Structure 1
Amino acid sequence: MFEIAYAAATKRLCFFTGTGFSKAVTDNKAPSWQGLLEVLCTQLPNGDELKQSLFPEDKPIPLTLEETAQVIAIKLVEVDKNIHEEVANIIAGVELAEDNEDVSSFFSEQKFRVITTNYDKLTEELAAKNLCQSLTPGLPIPRSSAHVKVFHVHGSIDSPDNMVVTSEDYFKFINGDSYFSRKLSTVLHENTVVILGYSLGDANLKAIISDYKGFSKNHVISSNLFFVSRSSVDQNIKDYYYHCYGIRVLDNLDIQDFFRLLNEKLSKVRRIAEKSIESTLRVVHEGRRFKETFITLEDSFYRIISALLSIQPLKGVVWSLKGFQQWLENFFRHINLLAFP
């Protein structure tokens, strides 16, 4: 939580949100992806029969949800309906729950980025509208700055025709080279990313993270991906996702509690973030050394690494692999001299 709070304090935090985030801030009123498709079935003649064939109760569903959406889209065309417009109409009716105090507090006070595959505008409602920009495929890209920027990589209800819903839409999205696909890559590489409201087994999530992993292997950056899970996750599973995708899992933590803890941690981190960056800059640029009293602190190493990640793109600190290794060698040699003079 210290690393995440430090990223927030230094404006290097990005949330990657899925359906579970919308469900959490609407008291479970927002539909799941499958639930949304089941609602669409009811808008068709013989909808119950179609729903039963696509979502059988006694066996696994025969198609992926994207393929299922394609089937429903074809059926909707036959009755002069458009699946994108129907989805937008359903999502537009979803409202925030009243009990979002900790989430709203963070969203209205901090500067950060959000990448979301959700179509709704709930994130924008949580943040103060005059401090938030909503970026959606099919609409003009604002050039001004904002405290909160929300990138709807799968589209939003503001532009239904550009929403990624069916398997055909997903194919175009994955194989396209749009502003949003490039921005997704950039934001993942430059920020600490906290994944909220996804399943660890989500295929789309793993495809995106795999791209990030390929980048991180060729650049000197630490793992900066965190996954928040409401349920318990076995340690073996945690080890697997860290080894394969560089994801650190925070389990037994729902979204409301996550933001409560983050807000509490921020009150401490704000006081030390600026001081840590200043002292790290002096060590890097002026050849100074950290004080022994600082190095012996429990979280000193995290402060140093977080400060290095914060100043690297902002203060002219550019590491080659050899240079970074040399700096760490000198740092640990200094620690050893303190421990074994």
Structure 2
Amino acid sequence: MHRLPADASRDQVIYYITSSSIYGNLCLFIGAGFSKELVGDDALSWGQLLETAADQLGTQFDFTDKKLIGTGYPEIASLMCRKHADDHNLSLQTCIDALKVKVAELTCWYPTDEKKTLYAAHLSSLDPAWVVTTNYDLVIESLLPGSSITIGPDQPLVFPKGRTPVYHLHGVRTYPEKIVLCREDYTALFRPNEYRQIKLALTLKESTTVLLGYGLGDDNVLTAFDWSRNVFDEEIKSYPSEVIQVVRMHEPKDKPYRGHNGALILEVKNLETFFAELIPYVEHRKKIEKDLSEKLEKVRDSLVKKPEDAVERFIDDKTFRAVTLSIINNSDYAPLVDGFIPFFEKCIDKTFERSLPFGAFAGYAEGLLIVLDIIETYGATHMPPALFHKIATALHRQTPYIGAKNGQSHKAGKIWEQRKHKLPIRQLNELRIYAQSKGWREVVALLKFAPLVADDPSDAGAFL
């Protein structure tokens, strides 16, 4: 399920998050509420953070001023610094630097051992592809010891294999000078072609993003979210991609709904109840995937380790062939596809071996059936290039024996005439192009009935 229905149920949303975790493109977007739940009262909200910093720095600033109603915290931070600079005859930059250092000190918090153990297990099960956070603290990294890498706002989003990148969009407390805090810091985020803005938008587009403890209220995040929705709109969704906002409510609604920003809202009592609801799905799906991998491995072994019986059955048993091709076509298990290619060659060799005796033309028809079944099974979709090459080669071997002339298999000729117009035009075009490049005139002649350009608009985007 790559698209959520317009009227998605709660179970469907949970299943969708799980599918993205299995697919490998799950992004957790974590805000201050996440740290608050893990750390407790020691974790300060934005407003509390600025008020505490102002108090400790000796900044005389009235946070109760009615003029501040509706003013964002970055602007309030800038006003604080300007007030402090005027009162103490200091430069504005000196005051901004001092505020950043103080904020870095005030965000030095970590979860309790109990919370750490619980949420570390949750993140391990979810296995997010990456984490982005507006937090300065290192709470997330403390849950992923040894398996995460911290990335600051001045670093590119590249990371070692096997590590979960934790991208601190607004900086990390261990580097106070890089913290994005005041309005002046945000200005740089909106420069044309700014790397962070582009990367964030593309990642939102390419991932299923689950917002935890975050309200989609940050200007640059909202801009990236809007751009991700408009930069490219696929007609056919080929991967899970959605923005799901987990919102804590005293009495949560059971039914998910769309927020004014377009995100899908899932209400929960708290993050712990959310994970308690989600993780069983994840563990169940992982077990299914593991069982499926084991079954696919057995199918591969039957094709590779002892293929003799399987070759005969694949040629002679239409149902077995159809089931095997369906499994291979719908499987992302690379060893199975790799193992099938030499197995297919053995099958084609066997059909030619059967045709060696004088007058034994049935093998040519059997081999052609295999080729046509594979082409029809994959349709106009992405056939693995290595398999396509072997299909083309097999058809080149078979073509001289397809027809009604002396020395040809009349049965193969009838099969070709009956089925050729049902074959996907895209695949036929590619076969003809390859045959022309190789100088296989008989194959080109065999395929001359097919138009050179796909006449079905829905087929135009399918490539090998």
TM-score higher than 0.5: yes
Q: Which moved more, 1:99-108 or 1:145-154?
A: 99-108
Shift of 1:2: 1.0
Query: Distance between the aligned counterparts of 2:184 and 2:167, measured in 1?
Result: 21
Query: Distance between the aligned counterparts of 1:149 and 1:281, measured in 2?
Result: 33
Which of 215, 232, 238 aligns to 2:257? It is 238
Alpha carbons 1:6, 1:273 under 8 Å: kept: no
Give the 3 Å change call, closer, same or farther, for CA 325–251 of structure 1 in structure 2.
Answer: farther
- Superposed CA deviations along residues 115-168 of structure 1, whole A, max 9, x for unmatched, are 11111111101112x211111134587642233111111111132212110111
Which of 142, 149, 157 aligns to 2:165? It is 149
Alpha carbons 2:25, 2:129 under 8 Å: kept: yes
Aligned to 2:82: 74
Which of 42, 49, 53 aligns to 1:29? It is 42
Which residue identity lines up with residue 238 of structure 1 in the other structure? Y
Query: Distance between the aligned counterparts of 1:257 and 1:325, measured in 2?
Result: 46
Query: Distance between the aligned counterparts of 1:211 and 1:171, measured in 2?
Result: 18
Which residue identity lines up with residue 19 of structure 2 in the other structure? Y
Shift of 1:59: 7.5
What are the equivalent positions in structure 2 for 1:303-314 lying under 5 Å apart? none
Aligned to 1:159: 175
Which residue identity lines up with residue 114 of structure 1 in the other structure? V
Structure 2 residue 110 is matched with structure 1 residue 119: no
Structure 2 residue 266 is matched with structure 1 residue 250: yes
Aligned partner of residue 88 in structure 1, secondary structure: helix
Which of 199, 210, 218 aligns to 2:215? It is 199
Give the 3 Å change call, closer, same or farther, for CA 104–61 of structure 1 in structure 2.
Answer: same
Structure 2 residue 110 is matched with structure 1 residue 95: yes
Aligned to 2:196: 180
Alpha carbons 1:102, 1:256 under 8 Å: kept: no
Unpaired segments ≥5 residues, structure 1: 290-307, 309-321, 328-341
Aligned partner of residue 133 in structure 1, secondary structure: strand
Query: Distance between the aligned counterparts of 2:208 and 2:184, measured in 1?
Result: 32
Higher relative contact order (CA 8 A, sep 6+): 1
Alpha carbons 1:138, 1:159 under 8 Å: kept: no
Give the 3 Å change call, closer, same or farther, for CA 283–258 of structure 1 in structure 2.
Answer: same
Shift of 1:265: 1.0
Give the 3 Å change call, closer, same or farther, for CA 140–10 of structure 1 in structure 2.
Answer: closer
Aligned to 1:314: none
Which residue identity lines up with residue 10 of structure 1 in the other structure? Y
Which of 244, 255, 265 aligns to 2:281? It is 265
Alpha carbons 1:26, 1:97 under 8 Å: kept: yes
Aligned partner of residue 211 in structure 2, secondary structure: strand
Structure 2 residue 30 is matched with structure 1 residue 17: yes
Which residue identity lines up with residue 76 of structure 2 in the other structure? T
Q: In angstroms, what is the RMSD of aligned CA positions?
A: 3.5
Aligned to 1:226: 244
Aligned to 1:55: 64
TM-score by length of 2: 0.54
Unpaired segments ≥5 residues, structure 2: 1-13, 297-325, 332-373, 382-456
Shift of 1:179: 3.8
Q: Which moved more, 1:113-122 or 1:36-45?
A: 36-45
Alpha carbons 1:102, 1:260 under 8 Å: kept: no
Alpha carbons 2:256, 2:267 under 8 Å: kept: no
- Superposed CA deviations along residues 76-114 of structure 1, whole A, max 9, x for unmatched, are 5546552221211111x2221344243210224525210
Alpha carbons 1:103, 1:260 under 8 Å: kept: no
- Tell me which structure has the larger Cα radius of gyration: 2
Aligned to 1:214: 230
Q: Which moved more, 1:197-206 or 1:63-72?
A: 197-206
Aligned partner of residue 44 in structure 2, secondary structure: coil
Give the 3 Å change call, closer, same or farther, for CA 37–257 of structure 1 in structure 2.
Answer: same
Alpha carbons 1:18, 1:198 under 8 Å: kept: yes
- Superposed CA deviations along residues 282-329 of structure 1, whole A, max 9, x for unmatched, are 15986549xxxxxxxxxxxxxxxxxx9xxxxxxxxxxxxx648999xx
Query: Distance between the aligned counterparts of 1:24 and 1:88, measured in 2?
Result: 20
Aligned to 2:54: 41
Alpha carbons 2:197, 2:224 under 8 Å: kept: no
How many pairs does the alignment contain?
A: 286
Alpha carbons 1:6, 1:270 under 8 Å: kept: no
Alpha carbons 1:137, 1:180 under 8 Å: kept: yes
Give the 3 Å change call, closer, same or farther, for CA 167–229 of structure 1 in structure 2.
Answer: same
Alpha carbons 1:113, 1:150 under 8 Å: kept: yes
Query: Distance between the aligned counterparts of 1:214 and 1:280, measured in 2?
Result: 36
Alpha carbons 2:15, 2:281 under 8 Å: kept: yes
Alpha carbons 1:195, 1:227 under 8 Å: kept: yes
What are the equivalent positions in structure 2 for 1:286-297 lying under 5 Å apart? 287-288=376-377
Shift of 1:223: 5.2
Alpha carbons 2:268, 2:274 under 8 Å: kept: no
